[in-house]
Amino acid sequence: MDEKEITNILIKNAVIVNPGHEDDSASDILIENGIVKSVIKVGDKPRNQTLKQGQKSGPDGSAGSDLIFSDDFKITEIDGSGLIAAPAFFDMHVHIREPGNEEEEDFESAAGAALSGGITTLCSMPNTDPPVDSEYLVRYVKSRALQAGINILPAAAMTKKLEGLEITEFGLLKCAGAAALSDDGKCVQDSKLMYEIMKYARQFDMLLILHEEDYTFSETGFVNEGYYSAKLGFDGISSLSEELIIARDLMLAAKTGTRIHITHISSKNSVDLICRAKESGVNVTCDVTPHHIFFNDSCLEGYNTNFKVNPPIRSEEDRNALIEGLKNGVIDVIASDHAPHLEEEKNTTFREASSGAIGMETLFSACYTCLCVSGGFKLSRLIGLLTENPFKIFKIIQPSITPGKKADIILININKDTLIEKSSFLSRSSNSPFAGRKLKGEVICTIKDGKIAYKSNSLNRR
């Protein structure tokens, strides 16, 4: 039987890490028909028995030996010894290039990349060709996601053709299945129009995901303005480009009461602005990318265009402020900002290279290496940033590995050192700033809706 068709799985001896809660004891997790049926700590098993085929859990989660599987009950066992079991991730910022540029990424390749990174749910950005600014394109995204086998919450465009001139039909887009609104990749420059967008979104209780960029500061630059831009002779982008628009939109959100989410923040002052806004009651959340917390702008010295991203990777002071913002709760989410590009779009000069980096497949390992291994972060806190918080922002039931919950579960080997190689990516593109770098931690199995959707070779060898 194909493992993807098996709906009954027994994970044995894994350590469960739910958001905000770590438990050092190993447990058995029984999944039946896509739902977590029981979770039994190994030390709590009656008579030191383990759940096995021919035996079902009792209603209290114990191993009830009087409850026997029927003869046609099919089950697969996974040895979770030495592994972490956690809820699957929600990446709330992903660029899928379909429609229009499927050679960079289509729904099938995006699904493969996501699942190998432990992601079963994602929010797709609307800057495709054509942009997702109408009901039929929202429905197209949802239909293709269903075919590809991934949970996608589409963000639809705030303005027609992402031009920042005319507001789209928010109500119709929401009815078609849009989960949020964004012009990501572009920023609405007209403050009065942004005010009207917020008032309109408030009527439909629609989340706005905001890319913040003042083009008068950024139109000629392509890296962070600072020591390294001056040293290398690159045109710089001041962090004011981001901070001025954040300040504007925080004031507009305070006036309108609209839910806003500021994506891929990059500077210390951005963290400070959002912190003060939260303290004053503004309905704002924000995210940061792995590459902005892992690297500083000294990376530019290698002239590797995979470090050309928007907003740019900034100074060490900014990087430390972003990590501190994660620690103190100002920054709510880590999202990949997965942005695939062809080799020829990156294999050129810094000025001419496209901005963006892929990130779904390295989402966990980059964050775990930076925050937990080097930064003293608790694993449960990191899991919450990748699961609990994005689900809260989208007002969706939060995941956990508890009886009765949907079985979207990942298994992680946190002790595995992995050399990130371009040839190993399942994405159609390989423009990763982590390529050639050794990271700690690997997602070795992803279970979606109770079925094995991805497993690495490491799982086969266990």
Residues labelled catalytic: 337
Could you tell me which residues come within 8 angstroms of residue 287 by beta carbon, excluding any fewer than 6 positions away? Answer: 92, 93, 261, 262, 263, 264, 265, 331, 332, 333, 334, 335
Q: Are 379 and 84 in contact (CB under 8 A)?
A: yes
Give me the sign of the Cα torsion angle 337, 400, 411, 148.
negative
Distance CA 231, CA 250 (A): 34
Q: Are 389 and 121 in contact (CB under 8 A)?
A: no
Distance CA 92, CA 84 (A): 23
Could you tell me which residues come within 8 angstroms of residue 242 by beta carbon, excluding any fewer than 6 positions away? Answer: 212, 213, 214, 265, 266, 267, 270, 311
Distance CA 436, CA 306 (A): 12
Query: Could you tell me the CA-to-CA distances from 417 to 79, 118, 271, 279, 360 in Å, in that order?
Result: 20, 17, 32, 40, 18
Three-state SS at 436: coil
Give 290's strand partners: none
Could you tell me which residues come within 8 angstroms of residue 457 by beta carbon, excluding any fewer than 6 positions away? Answer: none
What H or E segment, with its residue span, contains residue 114?
Answer: helix 107-116
Fill in the DSSP letter of residue 207: P
Complete DSSP assignment for 233-262: TPPEE-THHHHHHHHHHHHHHHHH---EEE
323, with CB counted inside 10 A (0-12, 13-18, 19+), is: buried
Distance CA 377, CA 287 (A): 17
Complete DSSP assignment for 353-410: SPP-B--STTHHHHHIIIIIITT---HHHHHHHHTHHHHHHTT-PPP-SSTTSB--EE
Is cis: bond before 130, omega within 30 of 0? yes
